[in-house]
Structure 1
Amino acid sequence: MQQYIDRYGAERIWAATVVVVFGGLALLAALFPQQVYVEFIWEYFWGPVVADANNWNCVAWAGGEVQSCDVAGPDAGPTASPGYTFTSYAGYIPTLLLLLTGFIFAIERLDIERYRAGFWGLFPFMLFGGALRTVEDANVAVHEATGDAALSLPWQALIISPFIYVVVALIALVSLVIAVWLERNEYVSGYEYPLAGIGTGLLVLSLAILASWASTGGYGFFPGLAVTVLVVSTVITGAVWWTIVQFAPQLNEGTGYMGIPIIWAHAVDGTANVIGLDWATAFGLPSNLVPKHPVNAAIQRYTGQLLPESITSVIGDVWPFLLLKVAAAVFIIWVFNEEVFEESPRFTIMLMLTVVAVGLGPGTRDMLRATFGV
């Protein structure tokens, strides 16, 4: 493999891989539309987005007309539901790694040296991504309440998972280019400051739009839920970090203080799931949230099956998901040791940002959609 990289260049090989994979998939879809497009691409990738955009629990292919399963007949073809499946994960994860590699090449062109500063500068974009995703939830709520909305398909899909990850990443990349330009022209002392400022500004703008739309289409405002999620996840993060520092300091030798937001991101995701899926009604919401990921759905199902109802009625059945998320965050911190940073600091920082994004993105979305009643 190295000989091909030396001969053609890593960027050209990456570009050729993108063309072959997605061009080949498009060709197969054209040659075998039913098997490849309908029964694979639509059923596992585009169908869930359509269902999510229309707030349907299930969408049916219905000969290409695409209808809610409640309306479509029993022979309407493949169906899809909002959220992810193990099949979609199998497609999204390689795609995410391919996208990540492309962004690393783009960052190489910027010739950035202080990568750890970039981690902190990009952190607000992780919160922005979750808030922007909740804006789409509010858009759906407005449409249901008024019959009209600002966004519709296909543009609406840009802020629905997983496409929103690409959108936020592109916005972050453009912001990074602007921030580096400001630093190199001596307008700022460090590129991380304007970068964090842009991300924070986008976060505030998203929250303002969310609040405005939720006031029209939402079913209430429940700030106590958000406060509880943030306080509990912060306490958990502090306890875990103190334990690492006191008893296993070698775990965070590579990440340093960057390990804190990694733990916090996944603690937020775990806590938001526990509260949203088990205890949302205790905060005044009309019903508990429904899991949209196969992992937390499986945990909720099996915990409910293994433990008697007398116990789950008291402690709920989603709490193992929080334990799993925190344990995974600690494991990730351990994996990113000093040797990994020394060998490939650029790629390591990008992976860490991805780890934060896949925790804080859905966690923030779950917390905000419950808080604003959308």
Structure 2
Amino acid sequence: MDDVSDRIDPARAWVAAAITALTALVVGSFAFPRRVHDGFLWRYFWGPVVADGTGSTCAQRIGGETRLLDSAVECQQATGIVAEPGYTTVSTLSYAVVLVFSLVGVVFLLRRLDIGRERGFFFALFPFMLFGGALRTVEDASVAMLRTTGEPAISFPLSGLFISPLIYFTVFFVTLAALLVSVAAARRGLVPRYEYPLAAIGTLAFATTIGYLGWLSVTTDVLGFHPAVAFITLVGATLVAGLAWIGTERFVPAVNVGTGYMGVLVVWGHTVDGIANVLSLDWASELGIPSYTPKHVVNSAIIEITGALQPRSISEAIGTAWPFLFVKIGAALFVVWVFNDEIFEESPRYSMLLLVAILAVGLGPGTRDFLRATFGI
């Protein structure tokens, strides 16, 4: 067995597995279109994108055709396969599997480029996480314009590139292109380190996206501007991250040994997500922003359980989404504690990428949530 494993190139095995999985989906979609394409790919992945991108309440797949439905009653009475905007348990688990598999592939790429061990790599990718959340907000703004004026800012299916799960691929390829350009610039001596242009490109992409949202808020009546949401979210997350750092450094310093200031950013990013959700779901009327409903499975479950266990008077006073914030903070601190020195020593690139992914799954949605509320989308 050892001889066989030694002869297998892990990178080639990864490519072979990726090609095999894609081939199986393509062949299955043609051979069994109702079961594989309609019942799996469309139902859990493309259908929610169609419903979201067109501003519909749901999308119906029946007889190999797609219909868009605009009312909850129609969606409840619809036959065939019905997909609503947002995530399901199947799609969430599938994204997790694809994420881990993709991380392995990126590790092979980083090994080939001989980069990815440095902590500067982590910080240089931070702007791209903000960019991903802001880009998703652009699609939200486009849908809002469609519902209000009848014309979207970005027409579907192009807007599908900014909706989950396709937006992950969009941001990934933008980041990959920026990384390759930055590495090439560093190796040609144009910059001292590749992290500098990489961070600069990500910052420019994020700033451009925010500028576009600001332009829409000024030139249209569809978007508003509620700076209190951004202030509470960002200042609150900064205070929580700072207190978490001070507290752990004083009482449990071992928590931060492996990650250092990277851990502070992880806690900050997930706290942004937690605060943005609480404000959007429980304090919308007080802040003068549109009311929202949870799209994530975990968030929905927490709200449902809290509503069932918490007295109604308390729910009316403080809402039911607040435990999500503490879950996010606790989970982030746990992750920071788990990423000790040994993990980084055994597999520095994979550990670094996994930490990037952990921050991204919190900060990306969090950025989208607080920007949506800030611009009243």
Which TM-score band applies after superposition, normalised by the shorter structure? over 0.9
**1:263 maps onto 2:264 in alignment:** no
Equivalence for 2:68: 67
Which letter maps to 1:92? Answer: Y
Equivalence for 2:47: 47
Which letter maps to 1:101? Answer: V
Residue aligned with 1:65, SS? strand
Would you say the 8 A contact 2:229–2:374 is kept in 1?
yes
In structure 2, the CA distance between the partners of 1:104 and 1:114, relative to structure 1 (3 Å rule), is closer
Distance 2:2 2:330 in 1: 36
> 1:1-374 maps to which residues of 2 (within 5 A)?
3-63=3-63, 64-68=65-69, 70=71, 74-112=77-115, 114-215=117-218, 216=220, 218-285=222-289, 287-374=290-377
Would you say the 8 A contact 1:126–1:360 is kept in 2?
yes
Residue aligned with 1:94, SS? helix
Q: After the TM superposition, which parts of structure 1 deviate over 4 Å for at least 4 consecutive aligned residues?
A: 1-5
* Cα deviation 1:27-69 (Å, max 9, x = unaligned): 2222222122212211111111111112223222243132216
Would you say the 8 A contact 1:280–1:288 is kept in 2?
yes
How far apart are 1:187 and its partner, in Å? 2.1
Which letter maps to 1:260? Answer: V
If the length of structure 2 is used for normalisation, what is the TM-score? 0.94
Name the count of aligned residue pairs.
373
In structure 2, the CA distance between the partners of 1:219 and 1:117, relative to structure 1 (3 Å rule), is closer
Structure 1 residue ranges without an equivalent (≥5) = none
Which letter maps to 2:42? Answer: W
Distance 1:234 1:93 in 2: 28
Distance 1:109 1:119 in 2: 18
Higher mean Cα deviation, 202-211 or 144-153?
Answer: 144-153
How far apart are 1:84 and its partner, in Å? 0.8
In structure 2, the CA distance between the partners of 1:97 and 1:5, relative to structure 1 (3 Å rule), is farther
Would you say the 8 A contact 1:229–1:272 is kept in 2?
yes
How far apart are 1:19 and its partner, in Å? 1.3
Distance 1:59 1:173 in 2: 33
Distance 1:55 1:240 in 2: 40
* Cα deviation 1:224-258 (Å, max 9, x = unaligned): 11111111111111111111111111111111111
Would you say the 8 A contact 2:233–2:276 is kept in 1?
yes
In structure 2, the CA distance between the partners of 1:81 and 1:217, relative to structure 1 (3 Å rule), is farther
Would you say the 8 A contact 2:216–2:223 is kept in 1?
no
Higher mean Cα deviation, 177-186 or 15-24?
Answer: 177-186
Distance 2:314 2:40 in 1: 40
Distance 1:346 1:98 in 2: 14
How far apart are 1:217 and its partner, in Å? 5.7
Which letter maps to 2:284? Answer: A
How far apart are 1:275 and its partner, in Å? 0.6
Residue aligned with 2:193, SS? coil
In structure 2, the CA distance between the partners of 1:329 and 1:3, relative to structure 1 (3 Å rule), is farther
How far apart are 1:113 and its partner, in Å? 6.1
In structure 2, the CA distance between the partners of 1:65 and 1:165, relative to structure 1 (3 Å rule), is closer
Distance 2:264 2:135 in 1: 24
How far apart are 1:143 and its partner, in Å? 2.1
How far apart are 1:142 and its partner, in Å? 2.1
* Cα deviation 1:154-208 (Å, max 9, x = unaligned): 3211111122122112111211122122222222222211111111100010011
Structure 2 residue ranges without an equivalent (≥5) = none
If the length of structure 1 is used for normalisation, what is the TM-score? 0.95
Residue aligned with 1:302, SS? helix
Distance 2:308 2:121 in 1: 45
Distance 2:203 2:376 in 1: 23
Distance 1:165 1:364 in 2: 14
Would you say the 8 A contact 2:117–2:348 is kept in 1?
no
How far apart are 1:140 and its partner, in Å? 1.1
Residue aligned with 1:83, SS? coil
Residue aligned with 1:266, SS? helix
